[in-house]
Each structure stands twice: as C-alpha cells, then as structure tokens.
Structure 1
Amino acid sequence: MGIYGALSSAVTGLRAQAHSLENISGNIANSQTVGYKRMETSFIDLIPDAPLKSQVPGAVLAQSRATNNLQGDIQTSANETYIALNSTGFFVVEPKVGQSDGNSVFAGSNYFTRRGDFEIDKDGLLVNGAGYYLKGLPIDPGTGNISGSVPEVIKLSNAFLPANATTTINYQANLPQLPKTAAYNSTVYNSELLKIDDFVGGSTTASVTGGDVLVGTNPALAPAGPLTAGTSMTIEVNGAPVVFDFYNGGTYSGSGVGIDLSGGKVLDDVLAEMQTGLRNFGGGAAASATVGLNGAGNLEITLGSDYYGTFEVSGAAGVDMGIATGTASSEPTRPDLTTISADKADAFVANSVSGGAITVYASNGAPVNVQMRWAKVDSAAAGGTDMWQMFYLSDSAATGGAPAWTNIGQDYEFGSNGSLVPPGVPTATINNLTVNGVLIGDVELKHETNGVSQFADVNGTVTVSTLNQTGYGAGEFLSVAITDSGRVVATYSNGERIEMAQVVTAQFNGINSLKRLDGGVYQTTSESGEPIFDLSGSGIIGGALESSNTDISDEFTKLIITQQAYSAGTRIVSTADEMLQEALNMVR
C-alpha cells in the first residue's frame, strides 16, 4: 500500500469527518425544529484485499443513520389543535398541489411526519408549520363510529349545527322505600301512598261474600242467625289474624275477640261487634273495614277504603254463615291513573316526590322543561307489592279538569331486596311526550340494568344519579380541539361537542429506513415497508408538541471529536508529503 495508500486513507478519513460535521451542523441548526429527528454518522472501515500478514487498516466510509425511533421531549401547549405522539408512529399528511375554483387540490399521496403543530387554515383544513395537511377518517355524527378506511384530508365545517330532537333520556335513580311526601304522617296507615281513588273512581277493596243467612227475616229483629256458641271465626288481614269466639253467657276467657250471643242479641248487634273488633285488631288495612249484610241478605266483609290489603276467612262460624274455611278475599282493583287534572294537582304533588327535571328539545330545537315526579301506589306493608309510577308535568298552565300531569304508563315493581322484579325495566317509552303544547315525540327512558332501585333513604326523597338526554338546539361553531384519543372535536355555542374526524397514525417495521424530505416529512421506501395504519388514536397527546430529539451538549461533544479527528487526518497528509519529499531527495 505504501505512502500513496496512506494518503488515500487519510483523504477518505477527511471526507468521512466532513460528512459527520455536516450531520452535526444540521442537527444543531434544527435543535428547535418541531418533531425533528437528528442524523447520526456511522463509520465503516474499507479493508483492501491482501495476504493475511500484509493486511492494513484501509480507508473509511461515512454513512448517515436516522434516529426516527428516538422520541423528543413532549411539551404542553395552549393550542388545542397541537398534537404530539408518545409512540413510534407518524401522522399521515399530504401537501397541497394547487387550487381549482377556490378549492384546495391534493395529489392523493401519503406522507408521514412527527410535526404536530397543526392549525386551521381559511378553508377549514388542519395544516402544520411546514405546510402539510393532516389526514384522518370521518366520523358518522349519528353513530359516533369511524366511517371508511382510507385516510383523507380532514376538513372542518363552521356551519351551524342543526337541532337534534330528544329521543332518549338516560335516567337512573334510587326511590326511597318510605317516601316522605308532604302528606306523609307516620301515625297514619298508608299515608305514604298515592291513593288513586282520590283522583279517579272505580276502585274496589278486598271483600268476601257469604251465604243468605236470614232468608225472609228482618235482620234487625232476628236472633244471631246461624251462629252458635262454642264456634269461632278467624279473619286474617295481611297476615294479622283476628279471632272471633262466640259464647253464650258467662265470662270470656279466650285471647281473641269474645262475642256473647245470650240476652236475645240480634244479628246486627253481633256483626257490629265483629266490625269493631276487626277495626281494632286487624291492623291499619282494617281501619275502615266493614262487616254486615248486603242487599241480598248475604254476609259481606270488606276492607272499607283500603285499596291495597287482602284477607282470608276460616273457622266453623264462618262456615255456618256460608263462608268456606280458607276463603280468600277478592283482590283489590285500582284503575289506571293516566292523568292528573289541574284542580287535583296540588293534592298529587303533596302525595308524590320529585324525580328531577331536564330540558329536552323538539325537532326544531325548541327547548322544553320536563318535570318528573314519582308516586308510590302500592306497598308490601299494605299487603301488595312495592310499586311506583312516574308522572311528568305535561301542561303547567292547565286549569279545572284539564290534565296537568301525565303518567308515563309504566309500573315499577320492586322485590324485598330493593331491586326491580325480573325482568326489570331497562327501558320505558314515553309515548308522544308533549309539554305545554310542544310535541317532542316518543322518547325512550333508558335506565339500563338495575338503573332504578328502591333502597331505604332516611330523607325519604328520590336520589337521581344519572339524568341526561340526547337532544340539543341549533348551535354556532366556536372552536375545534384534538383529544388525547385523536378525535377532532368541534365545540358549538349550544354547548355540544361533536366528534368530526379520527386522526390516523402509521407504524413502520423499518422505521429508520424512511426517506427524509423537506418540512420534516418522510416517504416510504422498500426498506421501510408499507405503513400500518392505526385508527385507535393510541399514543396521541392533545395540546402538546414533540420537540427535536437533538441534544446540544451531545452534538458539541461530537463536534470537538470530529474537529480533532479531521486535524489528525491532515497531519497524516502532511507526514506522507514529507516522506515523499525525502524519497525524491534520495536521487539528488
């Protein structure tokens, strides 16, 4: 190889260090460039072919090495359209190639960048500081799902957001086991219940009818009918038994209600004593119970004005009066309470509890306030089941007999554990919801599974945990932001935030083999492989920017080393020159 080989190697070394200096200078120059990835220099030794004992170090070749896989620092920003990537992916962008009829024209090709300083231009497009436009996938405003799979330039519209009629009200609440309404009195039986018969007629109470015990006889003058001493009758009201023992003279020593048949007592007297005993010992459900004869002369037992409890009759005395042992009373009936008239609205409010209020929207964007109230119409303590109904204020200006409150038409029945009786009420429909003359239409009242419960509440009020709806009025475009999930969200004057597009990111198997272009963008190569698109928004950070991954102190250190290596290379050239001069001087 000799002196000329040394000169050649020294020159390749100078050339390699100059290449390294070029990379270092570029890194330092772009130390403040958003998303810039520094270039490293790799040195490769070139060994000439020679016998084993004649090998020499040879020359050197410098190559650039990308650092696309090394992330720069993430810095927060007040600009809501700035985004950064906390991953090895790239934003998909595209340059504008011109305009036609005032519209931007794009070539349809994909480029990739880490530069996320995107802002809205005059056409509603998101463009970064290098002039590249952000691409993504549109979102269906109806479903909120991504539509399509081919990334396209994201275009925002500043048009008014049209009104959206309410179709669903999401409602979840706990109803108190004991509602403490304005009319509630702890000493008055069933005062927590809405007495439907006070608002609409047609209710019947539980009753039992016996045989014709006094055929052709005046009951007021008749003896005690078929009743005989030594017999008894039990009337069990909601599980509380009242025993009537009939005896003939002497002192009653039993534990029930003793009725003396002696002294010429007539049937009316006996039935009156039974009625008093039943009211005194039959519990709250029997507080207004009746025991007497109906118009046909048959024994008739009812619970008077209680529309919830039931009872059962047994005993030989009952059989004597035409009531078979174990006869159960008829079930009480309560008509459907579909509306509450305005003249009874105050009474209704006093016997119900507030269920919250919410503003809903008609198809033209007109807002209406829906006030809801819950009324407990039956209870297990009264012998039935814990049952509630919901009403809404349909006409706040109603007067007289005009409807003011409307029942949604759904019974909510609860078991002893405070949960709805299977299958529950995951949804209910308010048909033709109309408030103060404004028609909203059919609205789904969505509770989800176990969304409505009945647990004890010391305050006796409804606790609403979820109350929102799907409608909104028309709104003016205000601003746009990109979320941490990569969703481009527009904000409107009506408070709505509508997702308009999903930012797409791309991953590469050969990330450091991408071709670098102006403006911090990259192009695919055969070594990098095709992009792998990610539609999930993973790694995107909204309101942030990725800074250059150049470390100034590190670059300065490499600069010193490069300078010294270059100087050393020049010394080799000088030394080789001196040696050649000495060789030439040998022939003088």
Structure 2
Amino acid sequence: MGIYGALSSAVTGLRAQAHALENISGNIANSQTTGYKRIETDFLDLIPDAPIKRQVPGAVLAQSRGTNNIQGDIKTVSNETFIALNSNGFFVVEPKVGQSDGNSVFAGTNFYTRRGDFEIDKDGMLVNGAGYYLKGLPIDTTTGNISGSVPEVIKLSNAFLPAQVTNRINYQSNLPQLPKTTAYNATVYNSELINAADYAGYSGASTSASMTGAALTGANAATTVFTVGDTVSLTVNGTAVKFEFTNGGAAAAGNQAIDVVTGAPTITATLASIQASLRSAGGPAASTAVVDINGGNLRINLGTDYHAQFTVTGGTGTTLAALGLTAAATSSAPTRPSIGTVAASDDALFKSNSVAGGAITVYASNGAPANVQMRWAKVDSAASGGKDTWNLFYMSDSAATGSSPMWTNAGQTYTFGADGSLVAPGVASTTLSNLSVNGVSIGDVELKHQTNGVSQFADVNGTVNVSTLNQNGYGAGEFVSVAINDSGRVVATYSNGERIDMAQVVTAQFNAINQLKRMDGGVFSASSESGEAILDLSGQGILGGALEASNTDISDEFTKLIVTQQAYAAGTRIVTAADKMLQEALNMIR
C-alpha cells in the first residue's frame, strides 16, 4: 500500500471531517429550533487485514450519532397550549396530507417529536410550528375517564357546553352540640330546640307526658280528697318530688309542704299549690308542668316539655286512692311530630329556632339555576332525656306567603351519640326527592355526606361549620379557551366557569431512543433499530405552558468547529506530502 495507502487514508479523513463539519453546521443553524436534537459525529477506524507487526491505522469512516436522550433547556411561555417534556418521551403527531369535502385528510402514520409549540388551527386541531398535528385519546366528559386506546388527532369543538342537571350535592359539616339560635336562652329549658306546636299546621300536635286520675270537683274542700299527713311522690326525668299534706305546719325534711286546712282551700287551689311546688322542685322537665282538673278528672302533665316522662313512685294509700293514682304508675309517652314544611307566616320564627347550614346553586336540566339555602334545626336533645336529633331544611319557595310552604324538611333524621358521631348505621347520604326551588324543578338529588361527614361536636359559637359544599351540575356555557395542563389533559374553559377535560395527550417511549430516523420538521419515525413505540397514557413528564429549546451548545459547537478545521487542514498536508513523495518516486526514472 505505502504512499497510495496513506493518500487514500488521508482522503477518507478529509471526507470524515467534511461530514463532521456538515453536522456542526446543521447544529449551529438549528440552535434556535424548538425541540431540536443536535447530531454528533463519531469516527470509526478501518483497519486493513495484515500481520500484527505490519498493521497500520488505515482509513476512517464518519457516522452520525443522535442525542435524542439529551434534553434541551425548558423555558416557561405564556401560551397555554405549548407543552414540553421532562422525560425521554416524544409527542405522537401526524401530518395532514390534504382535504376532502372540507375535511382534513391525514396520513394515518404516527410520527414522534419533541417540538411542543402547538396551537389551534381553523378546524379546532392542535398543530405545531412544523405542521404536525398532536394526537391523543378522547375523554368521556361525563365520567372524566379516557375512552379508546388508539391515538387520534385531537380535535376540539367550540360549540356551547350543554347544561348538566345537578344530581349530587356533596355536603359535610359539624353541627354544634348546643345551637345558639336567636331564640336560645341559657335560663330557659329546651330553648335551643324547635317546637312543632308553635308552627302553623302543627299547633297542639305535640303531646307531653300525661296521666289522668279520678273525677274531682274543684270547688269542694281540699280535705275531702287530701288527708293531713299523707304523701304523694312523683319522679320527673330522674328528679323525685314528694308532696306532704299538712295542717299549716312544716313538712318533713326534703318534702314539699301542701297546706290543705289553713284558709279552707278548695281542691282547685290545692292542685295549684301542687303545680307550683312541682315546677320549682321537679327539675327542668317539670318547669312548665300542669296539675289541674281537665274534663272533670285530675290531670298531670309536663306542659311544654315533650321529652321527659314521670312516674308515681310512692305515697299514702288514702290520698292516692282519692286522686285515682297508683304507685309505680307511669305517664303516657311524650310525642313530638316532625315538621314537614314551614309556612311563610312562620319564616321569622323558624329562623329564630334554627341555624344556617350554607347555600349552594344547583342547576335544572335546561341550565336554569336555583339557590338552595339550608338550615339545621335541633328537634331533641340528650340533656332533656331524649337523643341529640337534628332535621335539615331547605328553602323551597322564597316568594311564598301566608300558609304556603316556604321551607321543606329534607326528610332525614340525624341522631348523634355521646361521642358526637352519628348513631349507627349513620347517614352516608340521603335523597332530596323531587327537589324544587322557587319553581325550578331539579328532580331527585343525592345529598352525599360520606362516612362521618356530618358530626356534632361542641362549638363555642353554636353555629354550623360547613367543611364541604359542592355539586356536579352547571349551566350551559360558551367555549372560551383551551389549555394543556401538567397531566397532559387538554382542558377547555367555558363562560360558565366550567373546565372540561377533552382529551389526553399520548407520549411515546423507545428502547433505543437514538436509533430513530430523523425527518423534516423535527419529527422522527420508528425504525427496526429503535424498536416500536411504547405508548404512555399517564401524561407523566408533560409540562404545560412550556417549550423545550434546542440542545445545541453554541460554544461547544464552535470548539468542535476549530478542531474539525484543524484536522481537515492536517489531512490536506498528508495529501500534499504523499503527492511530493510520489513526485520524487517518478523523478527517479528521469
């Protein structure tokens, strides 16, 4: 080989450096191209076959090497449809090859790019600066779940967003153990509770614990019934009261003295004295007790207390028999009907007996809004011998007048234990049947509390603390804008404030990322060396409102340019030297 071999090697060197120069030139030219991946040059030495001691370096071959695995700088931009990838993945895109009947026609082949400067074109599709259209998977706007598995060109619609009727209200709150309503008075027993008997349509419906005795004539002398020295004992909600009938004297310690001789009192007057003593000594449940003659018979009841019972626990037989009472007899059970609706005429009273529970706007099937105002009313309490029980009301007709219903009971009883949680099995949800507010018909709406979503813990303010209150309906809206978020979701925003996920951007990974074939516009196609694309539907690594810059480093390219230039110059010197040596060899025969 000799001189000719050296000349040949020098020429391959010149070719290799020229190839390197071409790559450097392209890298510098694309230093500002979005998502561009520079091309490095690798040199491969070609060794001719020869004995070991006769081997020579031989020629050189230049080949290109991709840097697809090297990320360029990511910069933030104001355009919400621009996206970048903080991973080794690629966006899946497709070129448009024409139009048919006004519709875009696509090639049907997937290409891959890091160029994420996507904008909406006239047809509502996302296309980048190189003319490639972004692909993804559609999302079911009802469930929010991805539908399908084959990526398709994302196409957005600027049509009105249809209204969605509200069928669920998520509501969680803590109710105060002691609601400090407007009517609440710390010195008045059960003043924190709502009393059905005070409301139109329920007047007289509530019944307190009561007991009926013998027929009595109120004008007769007390001594015809009550015997001096006899006793009668009542126990009201755990508080014992023992009446002792006297002749102007004092009663035994702990007894209530009832004088049935001095002044010759009548039976009616004596019953009034018993009533006064019962109210003062019988505890809170007896504070409004009544002891009188009703319909000709003895009557004992607890007045306006609709929670406690009382029992005849003892007494002297003579007086008990005359009163028609029997020791160990128990009064009738109190009843307390639920208030189904509150008339407009009782609106002020109702608000004074309840606490605000929040308000939310819901939507009918045609998008008509309706404001649901909620109030909580405590209907029973453990302190009065019952259980801590609440009812929820909502305003069904704010324009109602007179006896027309203004507030409606939700129809669910909330009963709490001593620990402040709902008594098993609890109330995870309830249904507002045929919900209608101010003439706007919504239909059945699930009021969802989740497990332990409604509690009753002590609150010094005595108010309802609402922690969750939202609903799933909305009115019709006009398309306003679109953005791609950091999860790769294409989100459309509408004039009604709704943000609807329309599509999921698909990314692709490759096992041999640097073996992809380059094409115009910063796109790549899969090759046999790269392997098939591995699609990712999670949106991992996607950054919204960002762009990836070229990974070209100008200073590094200039350094390589100097080295390449000097190597090329050195190669030309080899050619010159070989030429001179050949010239000398030819001159030997002259």
TM over 0.5: yes
Match of 2:6 in 1: 6
Match of 1:152 in 2: 152
Q: CA deviation at 1:249?
A: 8.0
Match of 1:242 in 2: 241
> What amino acid does structure 2 have at the position aligned with 1:306?
D
Match of 2:82 in 1: 82
How big is each residue's C-alpha offset from its partner over 1:226-276, in whole Å with a ceiling of 9 and x where there is no partner?
878476624132x33334456788643423434567779876666444322
Cα gap change, 1:18/1:280 in structure 2, threshold over 3 Å: closer, same or farther?
same
Cα gap change, 1:176/1:562 in structure 2, threshold over 3 Å: closer, same or farther?
same
Match of 1:443 in 2: 445
In structure 2, distance between residues paired with 1:502 and 1:406: 44
Cα gap change, 1:266/1:112 in structure 2, threshold over 3 Å: closer, same or farther?
same
In structure 2, distance between residues paired with 1:312 and 1:518: 97
8 Å contact kept, 2:488–2:539: yes
More off after superposition, 37-46 vs 541-550: 37-46
In structure 1, distance between residues paired with 2:311 and 2:506: 72
> What amino acid does structure 2 have at the position aligned with 1:125?
M
> What amino acid does structure 2 have at the position aligned with 1:573?
V
In structure 2, distance between residues paired with 1:147 and 1:326: 72
8 Å contact kept, 1:80–1:543: yes
> What amino acid does structure 2 have at the position aligned with 1:10?
A
Match of 1:381 in 2: 383
Match of 2:505 in 1: 503
Q: CA deviation at 1:187?
A: 2.1
Cα gap change, 1:567/1:327 in structure 2, threshold over 3 Å: closer, same or farther?
farther
Cα gap change, 1:194/1:211 in structure 2, threshold over 3 Å: closer, same or farther?
closer
Q: How does 1:293-442 map to 2 (within 5 A)?
A: 295=295, 297=297, 300-317=299-316, 320=320, 328-442=330-444
8 Å contact kept, 2:217–2:296: no
Match of 1:551 in 2: 553
Q: How does 1:441-480 map to 2 (within 5 A)?
A: 441-480=443-482
8 Å contact kept, 2:506–2:535: yes
In structure 1, distance between residues paired with 2:138 and 2:114: 21
8 Å contact kept, 1:203–1:332: no
> What amino acid does structure 2 have at the position aligned with 1:343?
S
8 Å contact kept, 1:207–1:300: no
Q: CA deviation at 1:291?
A: 3.3
Cα gap change, 1:562/1:294 in structure 2, threshold over 3 Å: closer, same or farther?
same
Match of 1:534 in 2: 536
> What amino acid does structure 2 have at the position aligned with 1:285?
A
> What amino acid does structure 2 have at the position aligned with 1:479?
S
Q: CA deviation at 1:68?
A: 0.9
Cα gap change, 1:310/1:13 in structure 2, threshold over 3 Å: closer, same or farther?
farther
In structure 2, distance between residues paired with 1:30 and 1:217: 115
How big is each residue's C-alpha offset from its partner over 1:60-108, in whole Å with a ceiling of 9 and x where there is no partner?
2111111111111111111111011111111111101110110101122
Could you say what secondary structure the match of 1:315 adopts? strand
Q: How does 1:205-244 map to 2 (within 5 A)?
A: 205-209=207-211, 212=214, 220-221=220-221, 223=223, 225=225, 229=229, 233-237=233-237, 239-244=238-243
CA RMSD of aligned residues (A): 2.6
Q: CA deviation at 1:442?
A: 1.3
Unpaired stretches in structure 2, ≥5 consecutive residues? none
In structure 2, distance between residues paired with 1:15 and 1:317: 130
* Identity rate, percent: 69
8 Å contact kept, 2:382–2:388: yes
Match of 1:162 in 2: 162
Cα gap change, 1:329/1:41 in structure 2, threshold over 3 Å: closer, same or farther?
farther
In structure 2, distance between residues paired with 1:220 and 1:290: 20
In structure 1, distance between residues paired with 2:320 and 2:532: 97
Q: CA deviation at 1:467?
A: 2.0
Normalising by structure 2, report the TM-score.
Answer: 0.92
8 Å contact kept, 1:224–1:265: no
Note if 1:519 corresponds to 2:518: no
Could you say what secondary structure the match of 2:565 adopts? helix
In structure 1, distance between residues paired with 2:246 and 2:517: 112
Q: CA deviation at 1:339?
A: 1.0
8 Å contact kept, 1:206–1:311: no
> What amino acid does structure 2 have at the position aligned with 1:255?
G
> What amino acid does structure 2 have at the position aligned with 1:252?
A
In structure 2, distance between residues paired with 1:11 and 1:195: 107
8 Å contact kept, 1:224–1:270: no
Cα gap change, 1:307/1:6 in structure 2, threshold over 3 Å: closer, same or farther?
same
More off after superposition, 299-308 vs 247-256: 247-256
How big is each residue's C-alpha offset from its partner over 1:424-458, in whole Å with a ceiling of 9 and x where there is no partner?
22212111111222211111112222222222223
8 Å contact kept, 2:236–2:308: no
In structure 1, distance between residues paired with 2:330 and 2:251: 28
Unpaired stretches in structure 1, ≥5 consecutive residues? none
8 Å contact kept, 2:7–2:578: yes
8 Å contact kept, 1:376–1:389: yes
Q: CA deviation at 1:401?
A: 1.1
Q: How does 1:77-116 map to 2 (within 5 A)?
A: 77-116=77-116
Match of 1:24 in 2: 24
8 Å contact kept, 2:208–2:304: no
8 Å contact kept, 2:222–2:270: no
Aligned length: 584
In structure 1, distance between residues paired with 2:328 and 2:152: 79
